[in-house]
Amino acid sequence: MIATIKAEWRKNRFRPAFLVSSALLAALIIVVYLATWYQATHPGTSPREAVSILVLYPDQFVNLVMGAGYPVGAAIAIVLGALYAGSEYSWGTFKTMLTQHHGRITTWIGRVVIFELWMAIMTVVLFAAAAGSSLVVALFQGHAITWPALFDIAKGVATIGLVFSVNGALGMALGTLFKHSAAALGVGLVYVLALQIIVVRFIDSFNGGAYKWIGDLFDGQNASALIQTFRSAAFGPSAASSISVERAVLVLFAYLAVFLVVAAALVRQRDVT
């Protein structure tokens, strides 16, 4: 097991897809800070309601990351998962791995460990970029620098990490299913950015919302519910979610487990051609 993890790390530590995605997330959060800063200091430039500069200060950085990190971050995680699993088939490297010294499941576990490590790294990069950006805004604005409680930061990191993991695992399962990256990331992105939203809206509107509980089982609904709990007063009013935090966490972990187990079963059972 250690050998497979070591090999996975060696081949993925400088993998361009992970490095570019991490940089992309950092750039995304910096752009969000810059745009919001401009809108907050130039009233009337925002097409929506006035933006409060308070959301940009260090004490709010965890809450701001939540909005910026999802669903764009989730989409990036799906793309990465699809590339991570699918490219092994298109490069023919999966057969090279499976003909060495380890069983299929051991090899798969090594891959999952390193993928999850990268999801954790990307989460930390996202939060670090946000913290740095909020510090710059506070220094420029001459605002007092107050950080959120460590527990709140940890909670935020865990939440985004979980959302990335679930969506990354979906990408991996699709990449394994299709044995190809392109089809997997296409289906994954359509699912998370369009299909899921349309289906949930349809279910919610059906029969006066009698089947809303079905819509609440979708991973996106639970991720949104979890993200929403980080929305503070500085961000303005928001509608309360019908899904509790505990339930959202449980449902997301269940999705994570299902995606990984399905992918592992496909790896174990199917021929590698």
Partner 1 sequence: MENTTIVETHGLTKRYGSGVLAVDSVDMSVRRGEVYGFLGPNGAGKTTTLRMLVGLIRPTSGTATVAGHAPGNPAGLAKIGSLIESPGFYPYLSGRENMRVIADLAGVGYKRVEEVLDMVELGSRAGRKFGTYSTGMKQRLGVAAAVLKDPELLILDEPTNGLDPQGMAEMRKLIKDIGQGERTVLLSSHLLGEVEQICDRVGVISNGKLVTQSTVQALLGEKGVVVRAEPSDQASEVLTRMFGPSSVVREDGYFHLKTDPARSAEINRQLMAAGVGVSELRPFERSLEEVFFQLTGEKQGS
Name the residues that contact partner 1, by CB under 8 A.
Answer: 3-4, 6-7, 10-11, 14-16, 91-104, 106-107, 271-273
96 exposed, middle or buried (CB, 10 Å; 0-12, 13-18, 19+)?
Answer: exposed
Q: Calculate the alpha carbon distances from 72 to 91, 102, 167, 271 in Å.
A: 28, 36, 11, 34
Which phi and psi (to 5°) does residue 220 adopt? Answer: -65, -40
In whole angstroms, how close is the CB of 268 to partner 1 at the nearest point? 11
Residue with tokens 């174990």: 268
Residue number, 102 or 212, with CB nearest to partner 1: 102
How far is 82 from 172, CA to CA, in rounded Å? Answer: 5
In whole angstroms, how close is the CB of 103 to partner 1 at the nearest point? 5
In whole angstroms, how close is the CB of 93 to partner 1 at the nearest point? 4
246 exposed, middle or buried (CB, 10 Å; 0-12, 13-18, 19+)?
Answer: exposed
Residue number, 111 or 230, with CB nearest to partner 1: 111
In whole angstroms, how close is the CB of 226 to partner 1 at the nearest point? 35
Residue number, 103 or 209, with CB nearest to partner 1: 103
In whole angstroms, how close is the CB of 240 to partner 1 at the nearest point? 46
In whole angstroms, how close is the CB of 121 to partner 1 at the nearest point? 18
Pick left, alpha or beta for residue 142 (phi over 0 → left; psi -120 to 50 → alpha; otherwise beta): left
How far is 53 from 138, CA to CA, in rounded Å? Answer: 10
**For residue 195, how far is the Cα from the chain centroid?**
18
Residue number, 57 or 84, with CB nearest to partner 1: 84
In whole angstroms, how close is the CB of 157 to partner 1 at the nearest point? 29
Residue number, 100 or 242, with CB nearest to partner 1: 100
How far is 128 from 99, CA to CA, in rounded Å? Answer: 40
Residue number, 109 or 137, with CB nearest to partner 1: 109
How far is 45 from 79, CA to CA, in rounded Å? Answer: 33
Residue number, 63 or 87, with CB nearest to partner 1: 87
How far is 114 from 12, CA to CA, in rounded Å? Answer: 8
162 exposed, middle or buried (CB, 10 Å; 0-12, 13-18, 19+)?
Answer: buried
Residue number, 1 or 139, with CB nearest to partner 1: 1
In whole angstroms, how close is the CB of 252 to partner 1 at the nearest point? 31
